[in-house]
A and B are shown apart, each in its own frame.
Chain A
Amino acid sequence: MTERLRNSLLFAGMAALLVAVGVFQSANLALAILNLCLISAIMALGVNIQWGYAGLFNAGVMGFTALGGLAAVIISVPPVTEAWVAGGLRAVSGLVLGVLTIALGILTWKKLSLGKTARGWTSALIIVTGVIAMRWVVDPAVEAIEAVEPAKTGFLGGFGLPIMFAWMAGGALAALAAWAIGKISLGLRSDYLAIATLGISEIIIYVLKNEDWLARGVKNVNGLPRPVPYEIELQATLWVQNLASRLDINLIELSSIIVKLCYAGLFVVVLALIYWLSERALRSPWGRMMRAIRDNETAAGAMGKNVTSRHLQVFILGSAVIGIAGAMLTTLDGIFTPSTYQPLRFTFLVWVMVIVGGSGNNLGSILGGFVIWFFWIEAEPLGLGLINFFTSSMAEDSALRIHLLQNAAYTRYITMGVVLLLVLRFSPRGLIPERNR
C-alpha cells in the first residue's frame, strides 16, 4: 500500500466517523465537532513545528491559546470611551513604564561594566524601583477603569475592528510572549523550557483572570462580533426559508448548520494556508537545517549553525500558530472566558494529538488533531455507555452505580493517557510517520 493511499484511507475513515455522528446523533453536533477538530489541527501544527521540527517541549500551549483569545477581545470589541477617559492614558503609560524598566534592567545587566554582583544589584534596584513606580501610576487608573459600569464594561475595550484581524494579532501576541520566554529558557537543558512554559502559561491565565481592566477577568467578555452571519438574520432571508422547506428540515436547525459551515469554510482556508506554509518550510533548506539540529545538536553546532537562535526562531513560529488557533477558538465561541483554560485540555491534549498523529509530519498532526478531538468529545457518551453496560446487572439505586455514572465523564482523561502511552510504546512514530528524506 502506498503512503498516499494509506493516508487517504486514514482521512477517509476520519470523515466517515464524522458523517456517522451526523447521521446517528445530529448534523449540528457533527459540524460542531468538525469546527473544533479544525482548530485543534492548527494547534497541533503549531506544536508540531516546535516538537516535530526542532524537538522543543512546549508545556505552555494553554497560555498561547489564551493570548490568542485575548487578541480577539482587544481587536474586535469597540473601545469603552468613558474608561479611556477615566484612566486609559494613565494605564497605558504605566505599562510602557513597566516595559521600559525591564528593558533598562536587562540592558544594565548586559552592558554595564561592573562586577557581576554589582551589576546584579543595580539591575535589581532599577527593576524594583520601576515596578513600584509603575504600580503608583497604574493602580489608580485601574481602579478608575474598573469603576466604569462594572456590570457591563469596566474595561478598556478594544479597537472595534473586524474580528478576523484578531487571528493575525493573536499570532503576533503569542509570538511576542514566545520570544520573551524563549530568550530566558532556550539554550538551557530541555526540561527547563518545559517548566518555564508551564509557568508562563499559568501566569498568563492568572493575569487574564485578575486584570479586569484588560478583558473583564472572570466576568468574561461575551457577544464578540462574528465574521459570519447570525442565525436570526439567516432565518429571515428568503433563500434559507426556501431551502428549509425543500430539504424538509427545521429552519432554526438549518440556520445553525449554515453558520457552522461558514465557520468551517474559514477555518479550512486558514488550516490549508498554514499547512502549505509549514510544508514549504519543512522542505526548504531551513527545514533541513532544523531537522539536522534536532537530530544532533552538537554536530549541527559544529557545522556552524547557531542552535539557540534557530530554536528561538522555531519556538516563536510555532507559538504564533498556536496563538492564531486560540484567536479562532474565541471567535467561534463568541465569548472569552479565562476560567475555561485548563492545562489538561489545552496543553497536554494537544500534545497527545501531535504524538498520536505522528511527530514531525504535518499531515499527521492534522489527522491527530481530528482523531483526538473526536474521541475527546465522543469518549464521554462512549464511557457512559460502557459503564451502563457493565453495571446493568446492579440495582438501579446502587450507590456504586450512581457514583460511576456521575463520574463517567472523567474516563476520557484515562482514555487519553492510555492512548498516548500505547502509541508511544508500540508505534512511537504515530499514525502518519515522518517521511525519511
Chain B
Amino acid sequence: MIDILNALALLANFVIVPALAYGSQLALGALGVTMIYAVLRFSNFAHGETMSFGAMISVLSTWGLQEAGITIGSLPTALLALPISIVATVCVCLLSDRLIYRYYRTQKAAPVTYLIISVGVLFILSGVIRFIIGPKDQIFADGQRFILKARAFKEMTGLDQGLAIKTTQGVTVITAVVIVALLFWFLNQTRTGKSMRAYSDNEELALLSGINPARVVMITWIITGALAAIAGTLYGLDKGYKPFTYLGLVLPIFSAAIVGGVGNPVGAIFGGFVIAFSEMLLTFAYKRVIAYLTPGEWVPDGLMQLLATDYKLAVSFVILVIVLLIKPTGMFSGKTL
C-alpha cells in the first residue's frame, strides 16, 4: 500500500503538477489563438511573439517595482506587474489591428494573406523584443519559491517520495482558473460576449441583427492581448524568460487549439491539457514508479522512458497529425465560439 502511495507521489511530483501548470499555460495560449480564429478567421503565427512581448513587459515592470521596493510578500512581484503588461500588450494588439489587419478586412483578403501578414508582425515583434530586452535569459520570479516543500511533504505523510509544488506552479493554475472562469462568464452571460459568439457563428446574420463588427473585432483583440500577456508571463515566471522559446511555443499552442477544435474555447482548454499531459507522460522515466509497483526489490534495467525528453515537441506534432488524419475538426468540432 505504501509503495503505491509512493509511486503516486512520484508521479504527482514529476508529471501531474508540472503538467497542470504547463497545461494551463498552453490552454491560455490556445485560447488566444482560437479567439482570433473564431472571429477574424485566420491562424495568428505572431501569437507566440505577442506572449513574449507581454512577458517582457512583465519582466521590465517587475524590475521597476522591485526597484521601488513594492513587493507582495511571498507571492511573485510579477503578479503586480501583470496589469501593466496586459495594458501594454492589448495596446500592441489594437495598434497592429488598426495599422495592419484592418485594411485587409476591408479588402476581404483570403485567410492565407492574413497568415503572411502575421509573419510580418512576428518579425517586427521579435525584433522589438530583442531590441529592448536583448536575447538573453531573464529570471524574474521572486517571493517564496515553494508552496509545498518536498521535505515538508515527506514529514507530513511519512512517505519516501517528496512532493514539491512551486509557487509559480500554484500561481499559474489559480490564475488560469480565474481567467477562464471570467472569460466564459463574459462569453456566455454578457451582451457583448453573446454578440461576439453570434458574429463568429454567422457573420452576415450578426451584421443584419445590428451587431457592430468593428466593436466585436476590437473586443476580440483586447481579450486576445490580455490572454497572451497572462499566458506569456506565467510561462516566463515558471520556466524563466527566454525570448527564443516563444516561437517554439507556437506549435504546441496550435496543436492544442486544433486538437480541441479551432475556434472552440472549451476545446482549446481541453487541448492544452491533452498536449501537456501527453508530453509529460511520454517523456517521463518510469523506472522508479515501476520499481515501487512491482513486488520485491526488482528494479528495471533501463530508464523505462518512452521518448527522450528532447523530443517533447514531437509529441505535440504527432498528436496534431493524428487529429488531422482522423478528425480534422478536433474533439469539440471547431469554429463555434
A200 within 8 Å of B (CB atoms):
yes
B326 within 8 Å of A (CB atoms):
yes
Give the docked Cα–Cα distance between A312 and B310 (Å).
31
- Asked whether, in the complex, the Cβ of B121 is within 8 Å of the Cβ of A417, the reply is yes
- Which residue of the partner chain A has the closest CB to B125? A417
- Which residue of the partner chain A has the closest CB to B244? A342
- Asked whether, in the complex, the Cβ of B251 is within 8 Å of the Cβ of A195, the reply is yes
- Asked whether, in the complex, the Cβ of A191 is within 8 Å of the Cβ of B120, the reply is no
Identify which of A55, A403, A417 contacts B123 (C-beta below 8 A): A417
- Asked whether, in the complex, the Cβ of A344 is within 8 Å of the Cβ of B120, the reply is no
A185 within 8 Å of B (CB atoms):
yes
| Per-residue interface assignment for chain A, residues 264 to 277, with 1 indicating a CB less than 8 Å from any chain B CB and 0 otherwise | 00000000000000
- Asked whether, in the complex, the Cβ of A188 is within 8 Å of the Cβ of B328, the reply is yes
Output the least CB separation between A54 and chain B (Å). 12
- Which residue of the partner chain B has the closest CB to A425? B103
A415: chain B residues at CB < 8 Å are 127
| Per-residue interface assignment for chain B, residues 310 to 323, with 1 indicating a CB less than 8 Å from any chain A CB and 0 otherwise | 11011011001100
Give the docked Cα–Cα distance between A11 and B83 (Å).
51
Output the least CB separation between B171 and chain A (Å). 29
B298 within 8 Å of A (CB atoms):
no
Give the docked Cα–Cα distance between A140 and B83 (Å).
53
Output the least CB separation between A217 and chain B (Å). 10
Identify which of A202, A343, A414 contacts B131 (C-beta below 8 A): A414
Give the docked Cα–Cα distance between A410 and B134 (Å).
9
B254: chain A residues at CB < 8 Å are 195, 198
- Asked whether, in the complex, the Cβ of A191 is within 8 Å of the Cβ of B43, the reply is yes
| Per-residue interface assignment for chain A, residues 389 to 405, with 1 indicating a CB less than 8 Å from any chain B CB and 0 otherwise | 00000000000000110
User: A343-B247, A407-B131, A424-B117 given as contacts; is B124 within 8 A of A418 (CB)?
Assistant: yes
Count contacts on B: residues with CB < 8 A to the other chain.
Answer: 46
Output the least CB separation between A246 and chain B (Å). 46
Give the docked Cα–Cα distance between A404 and B311 (Å).
37
Output the least CB separation between A322 and chain B (Å). 17
- Asked whether, in the complex, the Cβ of A414 is within 8 Å of the Cβ of B314, the reply is no
Identify which of B117, B130, B311, B320 contacts A410 (C-beta below 8 A): B130
Output the least CB separation between A315 and chain B (Å). 14
- Asked whether, in the complex, the Cβ of A417 is within 8 Å of the Cβ of B124, the reply is yes
Identify which of A190, A209, A406, A416 contacts B111 (C-beta below 8 A): A190
A108 within 8 Å of B (CB atoms):
no
B11 within 8 Å of A (CB atoms):
no
Output the least CB separation between B6 and chain A (Å). 26
Highest count of chain B CB atoms <10 Å: which of A192, A355, A404: A192
Identify which of B123, B311, B324 contacts A196 (C-beta below 8 A): B324
B62: chain A residues at CB < 8 Å are none
- Asked whether, in the complex, the Cβ of A344 is within 8 Å of the Cβ of B251, the reply is no
A150: chain B residues at CB < 8 Å are none
Identify which of A343, A351, A406, A411 contacts B134 (C-beta below 8 A): A406
A195: chain B residues at CB < 8 Å are 43, 251, 254-255, 258, 320
Output the least CB separation between B38 and chain A (Å). 13
Output the least CB separation between A120 and chain B (Å). 7
- Asked whether, in the complex, the Cβ of B320 is within 8 Å of the Cβ of A414, the reply is no
B100: chain A residues at CB < 8 Å are 421, 425
Considering only residues 367-425 of chain A, those with a C-beta below 8 Å from chain B are 403-404, 406-407, 410-418, 420-421, 424-425
A20 within 8 Å of B (CB atoms):
no
Give the docked Cα–Cα distance between A420 and B254 (Å).
24
- Which residue of the partner chain A has the closest CB to B114? A191
Give the docked Cα–Cα distance between A406 and B133 (Å).
11
Output the least CB separation between A258 and chain B (Å). 37
User: A192-B328, A194-B43, A206-B310 given as contacts; is B131 within 8 A of A351 (CB)?
Assistant: no
User: A57-B112, A203-B313 given as contacts; is B131 within 8 A of A196 (CB)?
Assistant: no
A13 within 8 Å of B (CB atoms):
no
A199 within 8 Å of B (CB atoms):
yes
- Which residue of the partner chain A has the closest CB to B321? A184
A348 within 8 Å of B (CB atoms):
yes
Highest count of chain B CB atoms <10 Å: which of A184, A415, A420: A420
B251: chain A residues at CB < 8 Å are 195, 198-199, 202
- Asked whether, in the complex, the Cβ of A196 is within 8 Å of the Cβ of B127, the reply is no
Give the docked Cα–Cα distance between A352 and B320 (Å).
27
Highest count of chain A CB atoms <10 Å: which of B131, B321, B326: B131
Give the docked Cα–Cα distance between A406 and B117 (Å).
29
Give the docked Cα–Cα distance between A202 and B249 (Å).
11
A425: chain B residues at CB < 8 Å are 100, 103
Identify which of B42, B247, B310 contacts A344 (C-beta below 8 A): B247
Output the least CB separation between A20 and chain B (Å). 25
A306 within 8 Å of B (CB atoms):
no
Identify which of A57, A206, A417 contacts B313 (C-beta below 8 A): A206
Considering only residues 282-320 of chain B, those with a C-beta below 8 Å from chain A are 308, 310-311, 313-314, 316-317, 320
Identify which of B126, B313, B320, B326 contacts A413 (C-beta below 8 A): B126
A363: chain B residues at CB < 8 Å are none
Give the docked Cα–Cα distance between A421 and B317 (Å).
30
B28 within 8 Å of A (CB atoms):
no
- Asked whether, in the complex, the Cβ of A203 is within 8 Å of the Cβ of B317, the reply is yes
B112: chain A residues at CB < 8 Å are 55, 57, 190-191, 194
A184: chain B residues at CB < 8 Å are 321, 324-325
Identify which of A59, A200, A403, A411 contacts B45 (C-beta below 8 A): A59
- Which residue of the partner chain A has the closest CB to B316? A199
B interface vs A, CB < 8 Å? 42-43, 45, 100, 103, 111-113, 115-117, 119-128, 130-132, 134-135, 247-248, 250-251, 254-255, 258, 308, 310-311, 313-314, 316-317, 320-321, 324-326, 328
A199-B316, A199-B320 given; 16 more Cβ-contact pairs under 8 Å: A184-B325, A188-B328, A194-B45, A195-B251, A195-B254, A195-B320, A199-B251, A199-B255, A202-B251, A344-B126, A352-B123, A413-B126, A417-B123, A418-B124, A420-B116, A420-B119
A interface vs B, CB < 8 Å? 55, 57, 59, 120, 184-185, 188-192, 194-196, 198-200, 202-203, 206, 209-210, 343-344, 348, 351-352, 355, 403-404, 406-407, 410-418, 420-421, 424-425
Provide a sorted-by-A list of 21 A–B residue pairs whose CB atoms are within 8 angstroms.
Answer: A57-B112, A57-B116, A59-B45, A185-B324, A194-B45, A194-B115, A195-B320, A196-B320, A196-B324, A198-B45, A199-B251, A199-B316, A202-B313, A206-B310, A344-B126, A344-B247, A348-B119, A403-B134, A406-B134, A416-B127, A421-B124
Going nearest first, the 6 A-B pairs with the smallest beta carbon separation are A413-B127, A417-B123, A417-B124, A414-B127, A410-B130, A420-B120
